Amino acid sequence: MEFIDENIQRYAEAHTTPESALLKRINRETHAQVLRPRMLSGHMQGRFLSMVSHMIQPKRILEIGTYTGYSALCMAEGLHADGKIITLDINEELETRVRGYFKESGFNARIDYRVGDARTIIPTLNETFDLVFIDADKENYARYFDMVFDKVRVGGFLLADNVLWSGKVLQGDVDKDTKAIIDFNTKIQNDPRVENTLLPLRDGILTIRKVSL
């Protein structure tokens, strides 16, 4: 995930608005107590997600992949006054921890946290989304995109995390997850219904704007 000089990274973080006390604790506790803590968005990416949300002021956000709730809370910061975020995760073992963080956050009433398979839940959602964040199993990125696309308003945004996959995308077809990410990136690049920018932030965020049906 390290794509720039470590000193530059520290400088960038030092000139980025700090995490809240709760986010800092989620960050610390996730790294100390939860498996695969690199899945956490973290300080820089979290502030980016918050910034995007503030710019869009979405009424409806869909997140696919809650993990320990850090990214959901970052995006919730920019919600419209009448907004809500629906966040989905398949890992029921983290549910108690995540619900506890949400209750502490002040955003709990505006977060609809559902535990289950996103491929089953998404078709039941009767919403039009302004912002979608895909950060779940890489093998299904393209499927998630296809499932949510018609539920995103024209002019709305989709963000996909880990699209550089620790640089493995430059190595070609080496494993199924890498191949899935490469195929997803190619799919988005060739989709005439969207405009997109791949940002080398952390492990890569593909920023997608829906421009037509």
What total of structural domains would you count in the chain? Answer: 1
165 vs 181: CA distance, rounded Å: 7
Please check whether residue 196 is in contact with residue 188, taking contact to mean a CB–CB distance below 8 angstroms.
yes
Is 27 inside a domain boundary? yes
User: Any idea what DSSP says for residue 26?
Assistant: H
115 vs 193: CA distance, rounded Å: 31
Is 121 inside a domain boundary? yes
Structure tokens at 136: 């779940």
Which CATH number does the domain housing residue 18 bear? 3.40.50.150
**Token pair 């997850």: residue:** 177
State the helix-helix crossing angle for 141-149 and 176-189, rounded to 10 degrees: 40
Per-residue confidence in pLDDT tens, the chain, 213 aa: 667 788 998 999 999 999 999 999 999 999 999 999 989 999 999 999 999 999 999 999 999 999 999 999 999 999 999 999 999 999 999 999 999 999 999 999 999 999 999 999 999 999 999 999 999 999 999 999 999 999 999 999 999 999 999 999 998 768 999 999 999 999 999 999 999 999 999 999 999 999 999
Q: Which domain holds residue 43?
A: 6-210
Is 112 inside a domain boundary? yes
Is 1 inside a domain boundary? no
Which CA distances in Å does 47 have to 3, 54, 160, 210? 18, 10, 16, 23
Q: Where are the beta strands (DSSP E) in the chain?
A: 60-64, 84-89, 111-115, 129-134, 152-161, 194-199, 205-210
List all residues 6 or more positions away from 147 whose beta carbon is below 8 Å from its beta carbon: 119, 122, 123
32 vs 24: CA distance, rounded Å: 12
Is 61 inside a domain boundary? yes
pTM over 0.75: yes
Is 171 inside a domain boundary? yes
